[in-house]
């Protein structure tokens, strides 16, 4: 077999018959640009939006074909929906697993039931992660507000409540969970396909940063993230977990929308700083989740107040209380305030987040209070019967 490159992948894909049983996916012009790096191959196949589910065997055939090439360790193949009069969008990447019953003993699954809108695009695409009771997305309307730091510390605080928790880093533009948790290296696979989650501070963890090379051009990251998320959710041996906390990419663009639309998210937490500009973006984040019918568990105000470690004086550097007012105005729960503190940043930089490093300190207490309020909201959703039917996949 010749060297693994784009041309070799395209040549092999000529063996995959097109959606209508005639021609092949390459000659029909359905295959996107092909990305090959370090044994990993990623591309998408454009199909009509209404046929994405039916064409799952096509996706699988393409995936199998590529996996059979020498040198391919992993293939990420997404079906991209073709929209009349518009560009395709990665809307149907998370099929590819048949149905199997929810593992016995999984506590009280709280997966969001797929939206009831018949024929709605998201109705056909979300599905549960076997063994995992809830997925909690931590999002922000803009970058740099401390979303990843908050996600990791909330996850640790949930773990301290006695829950089994995983963290999934889907922040394709700046994956920082490995650094925050002090992780390095590549995840192992069990059978060449199933990823073994990494473990740190009692959390299971998987990061897109461990799957996508640092050198991958930004333009490629968006299209790759949806199929990578599918792989990280569905092809990772998470085991039985009460929740996976997902660190979403910041912002409210197409990538974020696709992720929110496709992952079976139980609820979303929005992180914001108290400034007006951040709050305007937080509102956009809220609107995005509402658009795809993902419940918002609440808003966390990060970098809320600064207490001088030397003199104890309190300063509201970015203002204070803005997120609480915003939450009240928007009718969503306010989950809590996290102070701006040097110790939070320093512990994060050292790969030992503050909730793990100083569990009985005041900052850990702030995260714990927010995590408990958030978990209450998850329970409310469960009580409202938002749990998914016991379908899961084989």
Ligand X SMILES: Nc1ncnc2c1ncn2[C@@H]1O[C@H](COP(=O)(O)OP(=O)(O)OP(=O)(O)O)[C@@H](O)[C@H]1O
Positions touching ligand X (CB under 6 A) are 140, 143-149, 171, 174, 176, 250, 302-303, 338, 340-341, 344-345, 348
Minimum CB separation of residue 340 from ligand X in Å reads 4
Q: Is 146 annotated for ligand binding? A: yes
Q: Is 128 annotated for ligand binding? A: no
Q: Is 144 annotated for ligand binding? A: yes
Minimum CB separation of residue 156 from ligand X in Å reads 14
Q: Distance between CA atoms of 367 and 157, rounded to whole angstroms?
A: 6
* Cβ-based nearer residue to ligand X, 36 or 170: 170
Q: Where are the beta strands (DSSP E) in 10-85?
A: 35-37, 40-48, 74-83
* Cβ-based nearer residue to ligand X, 171 or 293: 171
Minimum CB separation of residue 252 from ligand X in Å reads 12
Minimum CB separation of residue 172 from ligand X in Å reads 10
Angle among Cα 32, 168, 164 to the nearest 5 degrees reads: 150
Q: Is 192 annotated for ligand binding? A: no
Q: Is 143 annotated for ligand binding? A: yes
DSSP 354-392: HHHHSTTSHHHHHHHHHHHHHHHHHHHHHHTT-BPPS--
* Cβ-based nearer residue to ligand X, 262 or 348: 348
Minimum CB separation of residue 104 from ligand X in Å reads 37
Helices (H), 235-294: 254-262, 276-291
Q: Is 253 annotated for ligand binding? A: no
* Cβ-based nearer residue to ligand X, 9 or 271: 271
Q: Distance between CA atoms of 231 and 233, rounded to whole angstroms?
A: 5
Which residues, in sequence order, are CB contacts of 376 under 8 Å at separation 6+? none
* Cβ-based nearer residue to ligand X, 48 or 174: 174
Sign of CA dihedral 148, 151, 154, 156: negative
3-state secondary structure of 139: strand
User: Annotated binding residues for ATP, as ranges?
Assistant: 141-148
């Amino acid at each position: 077999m010749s060297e693994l490159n784009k041309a070799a992948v395209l040549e092999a894909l000529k063996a995959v018959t097109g959606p209508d049983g005639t021609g092949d996916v390459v000659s029909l012009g359905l295959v996107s640009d092909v990305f090959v790096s370090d044994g990993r191959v990623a591309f998408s196949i454009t199909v009509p939006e209404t046929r994405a589910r039916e064409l799952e065997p096509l996706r699988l055939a393409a995936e199998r074909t590529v996996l059979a090439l020498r040198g391919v360790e992993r293939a990420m193949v997404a079906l991209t929906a073709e929209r009349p009069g518009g560009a395709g969008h990665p809307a149907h990447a998370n099929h590819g697993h048949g149905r199997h019953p929810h593992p016995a003993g999984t506590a009280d699954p709280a997966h969001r039931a797929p939206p009831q809108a018949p024929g709605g695009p998201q109705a056909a695409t979300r599905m549960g992660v076997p063994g995992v009771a809830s997925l909690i997305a931590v999002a922000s309307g803009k970058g740099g507000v401390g979303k990843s730091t908050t996600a990791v510390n909330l996850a640790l605080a949930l773990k301290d409540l006695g829950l089994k928790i995983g963290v999934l880093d889907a922040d394709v533009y700046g994956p920082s969970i490995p650094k925050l948790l002090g992780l390095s290296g590549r995840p192992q696979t069990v059978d060449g396909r199933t990823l073994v989650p990494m473990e740190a501070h009692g959390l299971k963890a998987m990061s897109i940063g461990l799957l996508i090379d640092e050198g991958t051009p930004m333009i490629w990251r968006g299209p790759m993230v949806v199929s990578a998320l599918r792989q990280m959710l569905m092809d990772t041996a998470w085991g039985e977990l009460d929740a996976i906390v997902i660190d979403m990419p910041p912002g409210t663009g197409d990538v974020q929308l696709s992720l929110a639309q496709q992952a079976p998210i139980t609820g979303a937490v929005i992180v914001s700083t108290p400034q007006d500009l951040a709050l305007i973006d937080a509102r956009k984040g809220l609107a995005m989740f509402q658009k795809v019918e993902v419940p918002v568990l609440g808003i966390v105000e990060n970098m809320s107040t600064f207490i001088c470690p030397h003199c104890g004086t309190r300063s509201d550097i970015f203002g204070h209380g803005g997120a609480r007012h915003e939450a009240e105005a928007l009718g969503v729960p306010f989950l809590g305030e996290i102070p701006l503190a040097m110790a939070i940043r320093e512990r994060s930089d050292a790969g030992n987040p503050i909730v793990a490093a100083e569990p009985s300190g005041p900052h850990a207490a702030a995260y714990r209070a927010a995590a408990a309020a958030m978990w209450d909201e998850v329970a409310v959703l469960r009580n409202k019967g938002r749990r998914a039917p016991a379908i899961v996949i084989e």
